[in-house]
Amino acid sequence: MTITTNLAEKNGGKAFSRRPATTNVETALTLATGAAVGIYGAVRRDWFGAALAAGGGYLVYCGVTDLRRPYQGRVRSAFTINKTPQEVYDFVRNSENWGQLLREPQFEHDGSGQITLRFGKEHAAEFKSHVEITDEKPGEFIAWASEEQMLEHRGVVRFKKAPGDRGTEISVALEYKAPTGPISHALASLAGLDPEQLIREGLRQIKQLMETGEIPTTAGQPVGARGLRGTAKRVLYHERPAAEMQPERMAGD
Amino acid sequence: MKALCWQGKTKVDVERVNDPTILNPRDGIVRVTRTAICGSDLHLYDGYIPSLEPGDVLGHEFMGEVVDTGSEVNRIKKGDRVVIPFTIACGQCYFCKHGLWSACDNTNPNAWMMEKLYGYSGSGLFGYSHMMGGYAGGQAQFARVPFIDVGALKVPDGLDDEKVLFLSDIFPTGYMAAENCEIKPGDVVAIWGCGPVGQFAIRSAFLLGAERVIAIDRVHERLKMARAAGAEIVNYEEVDDLVEELKWITAGRGPDSCMDAVGLEAHGHGVGAAYDYAKQRMKLSFDRPTVLRQVIQACRKGGVVSIPGVYGGFLDKIPFGAAFGKGLTFKMGQTHMHNYMDRLLKHVQQGDIDPSFVITHRLSLDEAPEAYRTFRDKQDECIKVVLDPWQEPVAA
């Protein structure tokens, strides 16, 4: 069985696998910088120049491989949910449910394929992505692809009956292309924007919502003086002090 | 409100913090009337548990009166007097439905942290570091309790707080540890560690039909309390070789089951113990498994090793060959509280056991920082400290 996740024919562009991960401008810059630094280093004819030449050579190598490397990353995550495959499918297919997930960053899906990720203080920063469902079978799988943009992604979410009476195995496999290097990728992870993190925690939250009706949280609970280190860690643990809690976020209203 | 907050290694302070509020529809807020300091709190105090941050509220043994409930709470009502289990369970996942409440899938907001260390995450715990959920604990005047319908044990009038407080942790822990020993009639059970959990394990072992219980410790008043329950006591500091001593006591068989109610901060002496201390100082290992080694060595062939003692990370130099060669069974883990609380409340109501025997110190919350030190150093014949968060400290 082949599941289609290819928008290429429709959009007239190159297929996902053939498009390079970095933009043309970035590749050109990398090649140019590498060549310049390399030539300068070689011309200097000293040990420092030799080091520069080696660095420049590495940048040229990066630029060349950028032209050839199609994918940036793959994510695979699966969870078991104590509900039937049809129930889990219906929950995921209904875009209104996504508003309850991933409070930090906030995940929103309007009915027509526009996904918005909001993060930062008061959710000021936004990231938009337009996706299309390329293939689906109710109760079994949904395949999607995003349009060509800075962060592209395509993948499949599957719903399978789990062994015994354990419910449903929900699994997501996706590929994404992002023009980021390892350092910015690591920084994005700290802000909770690593694709693997987002997908895994999103699936976990779907499981928690479907099985218990709520997502466990400690945001806004009693906390003593944090100090410098503690305040830095507060970002890592996605905590917000009680004073920042908006009234409408508290359930029971 | 006032709450006891961790501020660093061996540093806890009573601070003024914001009151808890309902954050999710199945939450309840409890006005804490009594709370206790646990032996495992000492691991937090001494800085052995990672992911603890200054400002975290400690405490996981608490009870009180319900003062607020969320919109989806049905069984528990405002005004109910409740004991709260230290593990938080959702009641809906595979593990909760199969009686493995402390393995709940859905109550740890920081599950990814525990998954990195352990592969999979267990349930959230109160006041036990961010890896275990980061929930504010119960050594405070109020506490927020998630899934209060699933966890809270309603206490009937006529039973003192002190008689039921330990249903929040140490009594079910000692009982499950004794149950894990798979005690059959005629069995001899050896228990390392006569702290509060060990004391309840001794009494539970007799409740479950053990013929003899051997209690091992070095602190005089703890051995005395163990003997009062009917155990035979061994002071390991007065004995040359503990394993040989147990062989002598059991006429060459070895105890049928051995329990490690000590955990990662085991004291010991001799070369092996010095090696463990040194490695811990150099951060080469997390835990000191002195007792676990002895337990494995001493247990009879085909016997059962039960481990309620808390371990956090990695162990070194465990005689696993002896464990394999003797065909031992290991049973361990965080207590599945929800299996035991009702059952043990009945034992208390019937008068089979009065859990308040274990209390040696009754203090106000403001005196808690001193109490941590007293408890850790076993000074002043301290065995268990119970705190009243609403009591004003006696003026010095």
Question: What residue segments make up the domains of chain B, in order of their start?
Answer: 2-168+336-388, 170-332
B111-118 vs A195-212: helix crossing angle, rounded to 10: 110
Q: What is the ipTM of this complex?
A: 0.89
Question: How far off is chain B from A241, nearest CA to CA, in Å?
Answer: 9
Question: How far off is chain B from A231, nearest CA to CA, in Å?
Answer: 9
Q: Would the CB atoms of A82 and B92 count as touching at under 8 Å? A: yes
Q: How far apart are CA A73 and CA A175, in angstroms?
A: 6
Identity of the residue in B53, B142, B146 whose CB atom sits nearest the CB atom of A216:
B146
Q: Which residues of A touch B93 (CB under 8 A)?
A: 82, 211-212
Q: Could you identify the residue written with the tokens 């002195």?
A: B290
Question: How far off is chain B from A213, nearest CA to CA, in Å?
Answer: 9
Identity of the residue in A201, A212, A222 whose CB atom sits nearest the CB atom of B136:
A222
Query: Where in chain A is CATH 3.30.530.20?
Result: 73-212
Q: How many CB atoms sit inside 10 A of residue A228's CB?
A: 8
Q: How many CB atoms sit inside 10 A of residue A55's CB?
A: 15
Closest CA to A142 of A155, A129, A161, A160: A155
Closest CA to B193 of B264, B270, B277: B264
Q: Which residues of B touch A167 (CB under 8 A)?
A: 94
Q: Give the gyration radius of chain A's Cα atoms.
A: 22
Task: Count CB pairs under 8 A between chains A and B.
Answer: 134
Identity of the residue in A214, A216, A223 whose CB atom sits nearest the CB atom of B17:
A223
Q: Torsion angle of alpha carbons B350, B352, B356, B360, nearest 10°? A: 170
Closest CA to B7 of A64, A105, A230, A10: A230
Q: How far apart are CA B374 and CA B64, in angstroms?
A: 25
In tens digits, chain A (253 residues) has pLDDT values of 677 776 666 666 666 666 666 667 777 888 898 899 999 998 888 999 899 999 999 888 887 876 666 557 789 999 999 999 999 999 998 878 887 876 666 667 776 777 777 666 666 667 777 888 888 899 899 998 887 666 778 899 999 999 999 999 999 999 887 766 555 666 666 666 778 888 899 999 999 999 999 999 998 899 988 877 777 766 666 665 544 443 333 333 3
Q: How far apart are CA A7 and CA A148, in angstroms?
A: 9
Question: How far off is chain B from A235, nearest CA to CA, in Å?
Answer: 12
CA-based angle A28:A34:A37, to the nearest 5?
Answer: 135
Q: Would the CB atoms of A229 and B54 count as touching at under 8 Å? A: yes
Question: How far off is chain A from B305, nearest CA to CA, in Å?
Answer: 31
Identity of the residue in B22, B57, B105 whose CB atom sits nearest the CB atom of A222:
B57
Q: How many CB atoms sit inside 10 A of residue A103's CB?
A: 16
CATH homologous superfamily of A73-212 equals START domain (3.30.530.20)
pTM strictly above 0.80: yes
Closest CA to B366 of B168, B42, B127, B141: B141
Q: Would the CB atoms of A222 and B1 count as touching at under 8 Å? A: yes
Q: B170-332: which CATH topology?
A: Rossmann fold (3.40.50)
Q: B2-168+336-388: which CATH topology?
A: Quinone Oxidoreductase; Chain A, domain 1 (3.90.180)
Q: How far apart are CA B262 and CA B309, in angstroms?
A: 5
Identity of the residue in A222, A233, A237 whose CB atom sits nearest the CB atom of B17:
A222
Q: Which burial class, exposed, middle or buried, applies to A124 when counting CB atoms under 10 A from its CB (0-12, 13-18, 19+)?
A: exposed
